[in-house]
Amino acid sequence: MVSLIAKTPCAGLLPVSHGTVTLDEVLPEAITSVMPHKGQEQAVSETLKRTIGTAFPAPGRAAGKAGARVVLSGARQALVLGAGVTVEGAAVTDQSDGWACLSLAGEGARDVLARLVPLDLRPEIFKTGHAARTLLGHMTCSLWREGRDRYTILVFRSMARTAVHELETAMKSLAAQAAPGTGQTS
Protein backbone atom coordinates (compact mmCIF):
# COMPACT_ATOMS: atom_id res chain seq x y z
CA MET A 1 0.00 0.00 0.00
CA VAL A 2 1.22 3.49 -0.84
CA SER A 3 1.89 5.77 2.11
CA LEU A 4 1.31 9.43 1.30
CA ILE A 5 3.18 12.18 3.11
CA ALA A 6 1.53 15.57 3.56
CA LYS A 7 3.81 18.46 2.63
CA THR A 8 3.37 22.20 2.83
CA PRO A 9 3.47 24.16 -0.44
CA CYS A 10 7.00 25.43 0.28
CA ALA A 11 8.40 22.28 1.93
CA GLY A 12 12.18 22.28 1.59
CA LEU A 13 12.23 25.74 0.02
CA LEU A 14 11.91 28.07 3.00
CA PRO A 15 12.98 29.89 5.09
CA VAL A 16 15.64 31.88 3.22
CA SER A 17 17.40 35.11 4.17
CA HIS A 18 19.56 37.42 2.09
CA GLY A 19 20.82 40.73 3.36
CA THR A 20 18.22 42.19 5.68
CA VAL A 21 15.23 40.34 4.20
CA THR A 22 13.72 36.99 5.18
CA LEU A 23 11.19 34.94 3.24
CA ASP A 24 9.24 32.36 5.22
CA GLU A 25 6.18 30.18 4.83
CA VAL A 26 3.07 30.96 6.83
CA LEU A 27 0.72 28.08 7.60
CA PRO A 28 -2.75 29.37 8.50
CA GLU A 29 -5.04 26.81 10.10
CA ALA A 30 -7.43 27.27 7.15
CA ILE A 31 -7.96 29.50 4.13
CA THR A 32 -11.64 29.97 3.36
CA SER A 33 -13.23 31.87 0.50
CA VAL A 34 -16.32 33.84 1.55
CA MET A 35 -18.57 35.45 -1.06
CA PRO A 36 -21.76 37.02 0.33
CA HIS A 37 -24.97 36.42 -1.62
CA LYS A 38 -26.54 39.52 -3.12
CA GLY A 39 -27.99 41.68 -0.36
CA GLN A 40 -26.24 39.70 2.42
CA GLU A 41 -23.00 41.70 2.62
CA GLN A 42 -23.85 43.44 5.91
CA ALA A 43 -25.12 40.26 7.58
CA VAL A 44 -22.01 38.32 6.51
CA SER A 45 -19.76 41.12 7.74
CA GLU A 46 -21.52 41.15 11.12
CA THR A 47 -21.25 37.35 11.39
CA LEU A 48 -17.49 37.48 10.68
CA LYS A 49 -17.06 40.24 13.26
CA ARG A 50 -18.94 38.21 15.86
CA THR A 51 -17.22 34.87 15.14
CA ILE A 52 -13.61 35.83 14.34
CA GLY A 53 -13.39 39.42 15.55
CA THR A 54 -13.12 41.21 12.23
CA ALA A 55 -15.63 42.40 9.66
CA PHE A 56 -15.55 42.05 5.88
CA PRO A 57 -12.79 44.44 4.72
CA ALA A 58 -13.21 47.53 2.62
CA PRO A 59 -11.93 47.38 -0.97
CA GLY A 60 -8.12 47.29 -1.07
CA ARG A 61 -7.81 46.32 2.58
CA ALA A 62 -6.97 43.42 4.88
CA ALA A 63 -8.52 43.32 8.34
CA GLY A 64 -7.97 41.38 11.53
CA LYS A 65 -5.03 40.24 13.58
CA ALA A 66 -2.78 37.24 13.99
CA GLY A 67 -4.89 34.11 13.91
CA ALA A 68 -7.79 35.65 12.00
CA ARG A 69 -7.16 37.76 8.92
CA VAL A 70 -9.75 38.67 6.25
CA VAL A 71 -8.37 39.87 2.92
CA LEU A 72 -10.46 41.18 0.04
CA SER A 73 -9.68 38.93 -2.95
CA GLY A 74 -12.14 40.21 -5.55
CA ALA A 75 -15.44 41.97 -6.00
CA ARG A 76 -17.57 40.99 -2.97
CA GLN A 77 -15.18 38.15 -2.17
CA ALA A 78 -12.66 37.67 0.63
CA LEU A 79 -10.27 35.05 1.91
CA VAL A 80 -10.36 34.28 5.61
CA LEU A 81 -7.01 33.06 6.97
CA GLY A 82 -7.09 31.38 10.34
CA ALA A 83 -9.76 29.12 11.77
CA GLY A 84 -12.25 27.74 9.26
CA VAL A 85 -15.52 29.65 9.13
CA THR A 86 -19.14 28.87 8.39
CA VAL A 87 -21.24 31.84 7.35
CA GLU A 88 -24.92 31.81 6.40
CA GLY A 89 -25.81 34.03 3.48
CA ALA A 90 -22.55 33.41 1.63
CA ALA A 91 -20.88 30.95 -0.67
CA VAL A 92 -18.12 29.47 1.51
CA THR A 93 -15.38 27.14 0.23
CA ASP A 94 -12.32 25.70 1.93
CA GLN A 95 -9.29 26.63 -0.17
CA SER A 96 -6.59 25.69 2.34
CA ASP A 97 -4.78 23.28 0.03
CA GLY A 98 -4.88 25.64 -2.96
CA TRP A 99 -2.63 28.43 -1.71
CA ALA A 100 0.95 29.04 -0.63
CA CYS A 101 1.20 31.77 2.00
CA LEU A 102 4.53 33.61 2.27
CA SER A 103 5.87 36.24 4.64
CA LEU A 104 8.47 38.70 3.36
CA ALA A 105 10.00 40.73 6.18
CA GLY A 106 12.91 42.94 7.03
CA GLU A 107 14.40 46.26 6.03
CA GLY A 108 14.41 46.11 2.24
CA ALA A 109 11.29 43.94 1.86
CA ARG A 110 9.54 46.76 0.00
CA ASP A 111 12.55 47.09 -2.34
CA VAL A 112 12.41 43.35 -3.08
CA LEU A 113 8.72 43.56 -3.94
CA ALA A 114 9.25 46.71 -6.03
CA ARG A 115 11.30 44.56 -8.44
CA LEU A 116 8.37 42.19 -9.00
CA VAL A 117 5.08 43.98 -8.26
CA PRO A 118 3.55 46.75 -10.42
CA LEU A 119 2.27 48.73 -7.43
CA ASP A 120 3.34 51.91 -5.71
CA LEU A 121 4.51 50.40 -2.42
CA ARG A 122 5.67 53.61 -0.78
CA PRO A 123 4.52 53.63 2.86
CA GLU A 124 2.36 56.73 2.39
CA ILE A 125 0.50 55.03 -0.50
CA PHE A 126 0.42 51.29 0.39
CA LYS A 127 -0.12 51.58 4.13
CA THR A 128 -0.29 48.87 6.78
CA GLY A 129 -3.55 46.99 6.21
CA HIS A 130 -3.66 47.75 2.50
CA ALA A 131 -4.16 44.78 0.18
CA ALA A 132 -4.13 44.18 -3.55
CA ARG A 133 -4.72 41.44 -6.05
CA THR A 134 -1.79 41.97 -8.41
CA LEU A 135 1.10 40.36 -10.24
CA LEU A 136 4.27 38.98 -8.68
CA GLY A 137 6.49 38.71 -11.73
CA HIS A 138 4.21 36.81 -14.10
CA MET A 139 2.01 35.22 -11.39
CA THR A 140 -1.23 36.43 -9.89
CA CYS A 141 -1.01 37.00 -6.15
CA SER A 142 -2.76 38.59 -3.23
CA LEU A 143 -0.48 40.92 -1.33
CA TRP A 144 -1.02 42.88 1.85
CA ARG A 145 1.12 44.95 4.14
CA GLU A 146 1.25 43.61 7.69
CA GLY A 147 3.58 46.19 9.19
CA ARG A 148 6.44 48.60 8.55
CA ASP A 149 8.69 46.03 6.86
CA ARG A 150 6.40 42.98 6.60
CA TYR A 151 4.23 41.75 3.73
CA THR A 152 2.15 38.62 3.26
CA ILE A 153 1.84 37.09 -0.20
CA LEU A 154 -0.61 34.44 -1.37
CA VAL A 155 0.04 32.57 -4.63
CA PHE A 156 -1.57 29.46 -6.04
CA ARG A 157 0.04 26.37 -4.55
CA SER A 158 1.18 25.27 -8.01
CA MET A 159 3.21 28.50 -8.27
CA ALA A 160 4.94 28.21 -4.86
CA ARG A 161 8.33 27.12 -6.21
CA THR A 162 8.32 29.85 -8.86
CA ALA A 163 7.28 32.52 -6.34
CA VAL A 164 10.06 31.51 -3.97
CA HIS A 165 12.58 31.54 -6.84
CA GLU A 166 11.49 35.00 -8.05
CA LEU A 167 11.51 36.50 -4.56
CA GLU A 168 14.83 34.92 -3.62
CA THR A 169 16.43 36.14 -6.86
CA ALA A 170 15.28 39.70 -6.07
CA MET A 171 16.50 39.32 -2.47
CA LYS A 172 19.96 38.19 -3.64
CA SER A 173 20.20 41.03 -6.13
CA LEU A 174 19.28 43.62 -3.52
CA ALA A 175 21.72 42.12 -0.99
CA ALA A 176 24.52 42.11 -3.58
CA GLN A 177 23.95 45.78 -4.37
CA ALA A 178 24.14 46.66 -0.68
CA ALA A 179 27.25 44.56 -0.06
CA PRO A 180 30.45 46.42 0.92
CA GLY A 181 32.76 47.03 -1.98
CA THR A 182 30.08 47.27 -4.69
CA GLY A 183 29.86 51.02 -4.44
CA GLN A 184 26.05 50.78 -4.58
CA THR A 185 23.24 50.93 -2.05
CA SER A 186 19.64 49.94 -2.29
Q: What are the pLDDT digits (tens) for 93-123?
A: 999 999 999 999 999 999 999 999 999 999 9
Statement: residue 184 has pLDDT above 60: no
Domain map (residue ranges) of the chain: 16-178
CA separation, residue 37 to residues 41, 43, 72, 75, 92 (Å): 7, 10, 15, 12, 10
Longest CA–CA separation in the chain, Å: 61
Q: How many CA atoms lie within 13 A of 162 on its CB side?
A: 14
What is the arithmetic mean of pLDDT over 164-181? Answer: 91
Q: How many CA atoms lie within 13 A of 115 on its CB side?
A: 15
The CATH architecture annotation of domain 16-178 reads 2-Layer Sandwich (3.30)
Question: pTM of the prediction?
Answer: 0.90
